[in-house]
Every structure is written in structure tokens, then in C-alpha cells.
Structure 1
Amino acid sequence: MKLTEEQLKEIAKAGGIKEVDLLVSKKSDNQFELGFYNDKKEWDSILSLEFIVGACADRVEFKTSFDDFDEDMALKRMVNLGLIDL
């Protein structure tokens, strides 16, 4: 799966995360993260999403420290970007 930093930021905004322009992305295999490096130069992840490929269906798993993150809106934005089909 190819996902740009801009697309990841749009997904985060759709889910309700503000000030995404201050965040940077990290990628590995099918996992994508938005976050920042703190004063100790340690990575603080704000949003992580992973594409899980299954035998019958694929799914997206979100991990975030925001209690009010709207996964449904984030998924809708991913559909609008042409990244997934629901």
C-alpha cells in the first residue's frame, strides 16, 4: 500500500486530530504513523494505522492516544482518496 504523508494527514484531520501540519510521518511495510520527535529525540506517535490483509477481507486498524478519534470519518476519507473500498 502506498500512502503519502499528505494523505495520512488528511485521514488524521478527518478523524478529528488538529494541527497535523506540525507532525511528520514514518512508514514500515503496511504500517503508517504520524507523530513527532520529543525533546529527548524519542518518537511520539499520535496516529498509527495498519493495513491488515486477510484471507476473506482486508481491514484498517487505527491506534491513537485521542479518545475521541472518529474512525468512521477517517475510513470515509480513505474511501474518498481511493485508498480502500468499504
Structure 2
Amino acid sequence: MEMESATQAISSLNIEEDEELSWIQHKVLNNTLRITLTDTRKIQGKLQCLDHLGNIVLTEAVEHIPNFNIQRNVGSVIIPSKAIEKIELENID
């Protein structure tokens, strides 16, 4: 689903008045997140969406494995909420 149509779908639900959702739509979507996983890996990429369960979809993702000093491009990833230890937002306006 394209970003424009996703935003239109959210708006059509009449929930755009919710301040948290508005903040996510305008400040967080398409910005870079750095997510630390429970197994110490870190994944950095652009936020495309998150679902009602807290699962996150990132694009242009890079995985960092600190124990082995490995970094690899992984493209698009779905990160289950139960695997998330910490989320950091980069370069917010």
C-alpha cells in the first residue's frame, strides 16, 4: 500500500484527531528508527507502518550484530513487538 493511500485510509476512519496518531503520521512515519532487539541485535531503517499489536515494518533496514561486529543490509523487515527491547527515533523535526 502506498503511503498516500495509507494516510487516506487512516483519515477516513475519523481518528486523526488523536494526538498520538497524528504525531506518528506526521513526525515518525518515513523517519529512521534504531531498534534494539532482545537478543542484542540492532536494526536501523525507515518506519513504514506498525500494527495494533506493536509489530513494526522497516524499509531500507540494516542489521547490526554487535557480538560479531557484523553489519548487513536486510531491505524490508517485520519486527515482532515481543522482540523489541528499545526504540530510538533519529532526526525528528
TM-score (norm 1): 0.31
